[in-house]
């Protein structure tokens, strides 16, 4: 029965077809890859490189802000462009602090617009974040559906703000300057290997400079293969409405939602 030596010398199995390949239906992990010697085969190496190349391209791609603007305007939204303290990709990657704040002229701009617009319930900010194509592909549908749900529930919205090179905390300064009850930022998430266009949404009740991540609620992985935009819009609307009802957001809101799991479907 001892065929070990023979098996090592001339494998009878094609190592590219591991017998546990069927386990792949339980996970998207890269299992049963096979091997050449103890190393990865050419085909799985190249497959990995392609995924990484796509993720890198997603991080570095410029934001087609005009395209997003045009689509949102066609959908009937008023749009305002604003700027953070960042003007280029490299600075964006190494200076998260600058992506969290408005540049000086945008601060002035928003302060003056605030009096024209008056107090409203929600400001929505869209940014490229770490994956511009996430905002380009999914922001318009998410916002359109979300606005439909919220306006139907009697909410008032500010014009939508497009903010290249934004970080999540940007919503605090913007929301505070406007005096918005809620702020919501939609931005491209850090791309994983298999998902270069995942959009994230973060909402905060009574946004202000002192807010931290503990004050926010997050809906992530918004993309057709993850949480589709229509479903994400329902989830965000539910969180916002609950947040308004309870007068808070963040950890405490999450607990409440877990306790009322059914109301998610009711919305």
Partner 1 sequence: MSFATTIGRTRHTFPSLGTLLAKATPLRSGDVLAGVAADSAEERIAAQLCLADVPLARFLEDLLIPYETDEVTRLIIDTHDRAAFAPVASLTVGQFRDWLLRYETDAPRLAALSPGLTPEMVAAVAKLMGNQDLVLVAKKCRVVTAFRSTIGLPGRLAVRLQPNHPTDDPNGIAASILDGLLYGCGDAVIGINPATDSVAAMETLLRLIDELVHRYDIPTQSCILAHVTTALQAMSRGEPVDLVFQSITGTEAGNKSFGFNLGILAEARAAALSLKRGTVGDNCMYFETGQGSCLSANAHHGLDQQTCETRAYAVARAFKPLLVNTVVGFIGPEYLYDGKQIIRAGLEDHFCGKILGLPMGVDVCYTNHAEADQDDMDTLLTLLGVAGCNFIMGVPGADDIMLGYQSTSFHDSHYLRQVLGLRPAPEFEAWLEKMRIVTNGRRLLPVDGKHALLANHSPAHDLPSTRS
Chain residues binding partner 1 by CB under 8 A are 4, 7-8, 11-13, 15, 17-24, 26-33, 35, 37-40, 44, 48-49, 51-52, 55-56, 58-59, 93-97, 130, 190-195
Alpha helices in the chain (DSSP H): 4-9, 42-60, 65-74, 89-94, 96-99, 104-117, 132-152, 170-178, 229-246, 251-259, 263-266
Min dist CB 186 to partner 1, Å, is: 18
Please say which residue, 26 or 116, places its beta carbon nearer to partner 1. 26
List 200's β-bridge partners, or say none. 187
Residue 237: CB minimum distance to partner 1, A: 23
Q: How many CB atoms lie within 10 A of CB 120?
A: 16
CB of 167 to partner 1, least distance (A): 10
Closer to partner 1 by Cβ: residue 46 or 75: 46
Residue nearer to partner 1 on the CB measure, 46 or 153? 46
Cα(208)–Cα(122) distance, rounded to whole angstroms? 14
Nearer of residues 214 and 266 to partner 1, judged by Cβ = 214
Judged by beta carbon, residue 7 or residue 153, the one nearer partner 1 is 7
CA dist., res. 177 & res. 211, Å (int): 14
Closest separation between CB of residue 180 and partner 1, Å?
25
Instruction: Tell me how far apart the alpha carbons of residues 80 and 158 are, in angstroms, rounded to a whole number.
Output: 10
């Amino acid at each position: 029965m001892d065929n070990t030596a023979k098996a090592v010398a001339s494998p009878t199995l094609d190592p590219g077809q591991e017998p546990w390949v069927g386990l792949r239906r339980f996970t998207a992990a890269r299992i049963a890859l096979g091997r050449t010697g103890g190393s990865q085969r050419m085909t799985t190496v190249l497959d990995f490189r392609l995924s990484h190349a796509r993720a890198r391209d997603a991080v570095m791609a410029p934001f087609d802000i005009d395209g997003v603007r045009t689509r949102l305007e066609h959908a009937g939204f008023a749009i305002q462009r604003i700027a953070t303290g960042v003007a280029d990709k490299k600075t964006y990657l190494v200076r998260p602090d600058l992506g969290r704040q408005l540049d000086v002229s945008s601060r002035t701009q928003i302060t003056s617009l605030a009096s024209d617009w008056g107090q409203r319930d929600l400001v929505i900010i869209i940014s490229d974040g770490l994956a511009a194509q996430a905002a380009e592909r999914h922001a318009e549908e998410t916002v359109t559906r979300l606005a439909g749900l919220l306006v139907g529930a009697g909410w008032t919205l500010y014009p939508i703000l497009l903010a290249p090179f934004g970080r999540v905390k940007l919503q605090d300064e913007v929301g505070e300057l406007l005096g918005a009850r809620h702020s919501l930022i939609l931005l491209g998430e850090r791309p994983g290997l298999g998902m270069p266009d995942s959009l994230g949404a973060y909402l905060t009740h009574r946004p202000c400079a002192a807010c931290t991540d503990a004050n926010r609620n997050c809906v992530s992985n918004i993309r057709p293969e993850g949480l589709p935009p229509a479903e994400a819009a329902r989830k965000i609307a539910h969180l916002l409405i609950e947040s308004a009802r309870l007068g808070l957001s963040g950890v405490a809101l999450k607990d409440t939602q877990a306790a009322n799991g059914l109301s998610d479907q009711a919305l």
